[in-house]
Amino acid sequence: MAAVNPTANAQGTREVVVETLREEASTWLFVAKTLIAFFATGWLAMRFDLPAPSTAMLTTIIVANRQSGMVLAKSFYRGIGTVAGATAAVGIVAAFPQQRDLFLLALSLWIGICAGGATLYRNFKSYAFVLGGYTAAIVAIPVIENPPGVFDSAVARLSEVLLGLLVSGMVNDVVFPSRMRDVLRRAARDQFAHFLGFVRGATGGSIPREAMENAHLRFVRDAVTLEDLRSSVIFEDAEARARSNHMRLFNQRFMAASTSFQSLHHLVNRLKRAKRDLAASTLIRLYAPIGDALDMPIEAGTGARLLLPRLAAARDTMRGNVATLRATLADTQDIRDFDTGASLLLRFVDELHAYVDAAASLQAPRVLGGSAEKVRFDRGNDWLGAGIATFRTTLTMLVLGLFWIDSAWPLGSSAMLLATVFAGLFATTPNPTRVTWVVMLGYLSGMAAGFICEFFLLTQVDGYGLLVFAVAPFLAIGLVMMMSRKLAFYGLGWAMGFAYILALKNVQVYDPAHFINDAIAQVVGLGAAAVSFVVIPPAIGSAWLRRRQLARLRGQVALAAEAPLPGLRHRFESVNHDLVSQVVAQTQPGSADSRALIAWALAVHETGRALIEMRHDMARRDVPPTLSPYLQAALHTLARFYEKPDAHGYQLARDAVATAIASVGEHAGQAHLLEHLHLVRMALLDGESVLAAYMPSAPLAKEITHAP
């Protein structure tokens, strides 16, 4: 029996206790900061005699986040949405001051468009759209009987919301701020160290396909996470704003290098499976200087600057070794395989050097604003899914509006407001029906707590100080639950329901009948939002959308083959990573859908990037007129096959590539094109890839067939 090490056990227990205490401290710090912002906003709103201090106070809950940068980013976009919504409300009321039906139609359409726009983004930009719809409703609906009052209503709502945003931002930036820039720097360091460590560990030979698939998922998550963090950190830190484009360039170079790295190891794996060990081992020998260059402690900053000359020397060594190693090969097929791999390897080391250079520049004491190449991170948005969200939300608002008109329900406006908030807020979640019902349960609990607080405690206190003591414990319960992964949505519902139903103002009115009627109206609004997700299911998380996203991913090969070349590399890489990230987030890990996604992603990355590089070479050098039709035919058939894969399209693409290879071989000075085409053909004939399902016979899985 193994001896127990009491020191190790004590150390483990101590680490668990420290981590638990750190998490608890973070939770209660979030609760304290949110409560400070909530009550400071309420006090200021009452001092300024704003009509609805509760709107300003509710704003502090909606933008609450433990990270200061997240609060500032959320507040920035909420401010944009608020201004846009107030402007739209004034325009709608001015256009239809006496036509209630047309007014509700225009308002419903605006809210629907905002909900659709929210589905096109996966960061706080989506929140601007949600607030654009919500603000239009809270400005326009209360003045439906008094159109001239719309301007005063817009000014009041803007004042209340912007006050809440200002106070939240100041509190989170002053009271023990938790900086997102630290998270961003840590994410960039982790990405850098993990990728270079993986590259260093892979210089000894082939990588199992499963390991490469897992690495690809990690690369995708790292790239998308870094972009999401960058887009939030720029709001809290001036230095982060100055380095924002450098961070984008760092991320783009990471995506380019990781794609070439994967293509290189797929090539080595295929050669080994085809028993072409001499070509594979020769490429591994050519690869060896990279491992030697990376054989040092790796981290961003000083380590990156020290790596640059080592990688440059490795690149020079590899270029000098190409001819020597090629001379050791006698077989024509081995030479062709080596030429293809050597070209890919030299491209990879160039991209790796550029990536390390970007990492080093991020750590420079000063970064000049215009010193980095301008790049963008494009997203793979689905406009049809946004159209579904627009239709669903518009229809829900119209149904509630018609019910309000026909029933003359005095509190129908409250139902519409709540339906507006949650129909837009949860349109971007993978399972909005479940989320909305969980939030509704939390909302009911919060309103029940609000009833107890308002009629049993607030009626017994006098002054704002005692009001804080009466309200804070109830609100803190919801805020604590918001920090729990399991209870986050329930806690959000609790906090919003409690704050919204209290409707705190300068002269508080205690009317149980109105309280209960308003609570019923709010539940009806929440229920309408939940039912709308059942009647018209959202695209997000559905098998239908996954199929569309997978088709969009395959269509990236057509983009690589036919789109204009300027900026194409960056667009191809960023959209690919974003699409894969979306589908991974909505797919059960290890499922058939997940495996199919990864397999297609690897094929698309490799083939698409090879086509882009080939087109750049075609653009840089003169292609003989007699050769151009064969190259264009290869590009066209590959694009059509990936757009709609089937056995016939596969054979057309395979034969077109083989014909292009044979044609290039007949023209002197076109070896650079032959290397790209050969790589594409090897990918087409990979029996372990997703393309194997379209191959006419199984034997192709056992060997790499070369063009005559």
What was the pLDDT predicted at 109? Answer: 92
Beta strands in 224-268 (DSSP E): none
For the stretch 363-419, pLDDT in tens is 765 655 444 566 776 776 677 777 888 888 888 888 888 888 788 788 877 888 788
What was the pLDDT predicted at 302? Answer: 57
What was the pLDDT predicted at 494? Answer: 94
The Cα 506–Cα 48 span in angstroms is: 10
What was the pLDDT predicted at 585? Answer: 66
Q: Write out the DSSP string of 44-104.
A: HHHHTT-S-HHHHHHHHHHT--SSHHHHHHHHHHHHHHHHHHHHHHHHHHHH-SS-HHHHH
Which residues of the chain have a pLDDT value below 50?
A: 1-4, 8, 369-371, 698-708
List phi, psi (to 5°) of 462: -140, 130
What was the pLDDT predicted at 702? Answer: 36
HEC sequence for 324-377: HHHCCCCCHHHHHHHHHHHHHHHHHHHHHHHHHHHHHHHCCCCCCCCCCCCCCC
The Cα 708–Cα 701 span in angstroms is: 19
For the chain, what are the domain ranges? Answer: 14-178+380-535, 180-235+244-362, 543-701
DSSP 453: I
Number of H helices, E strands in the chain: 25, 0
Contact between 554 and 567 (Cβ < 8 Å): no
What was the pLDDT predicted at 708? Answer: 32
What was the pLDDT predicted at 185? Answer: 81
What was the pLDDT predicted at 35? Answer: 94
DSSP 563: S
What was the pLDDT predicted at 469? Answer: 94
The Cα 696–Cα 526 span in angstroms is: 55
Report the greatest alpha carbon distance in the chain.
96
| CA dihedral of residues 343, 683, 221, 203 (deg, nearest 10) | -50
The Cα 708–Cα 702 span in angstroms is: 18
Domain 180-235+244-362 has CATH 1.20.81: no
Return the amino acid letter for 616.
H
| CA dihedral of residues 394, 396, 398, 401 (deg, nearest 10) | -140
Contact between 158 and 82 (Cβ < 8 Å): yes
Q: What percent of the chain has pLDDT over 70?
A: 85
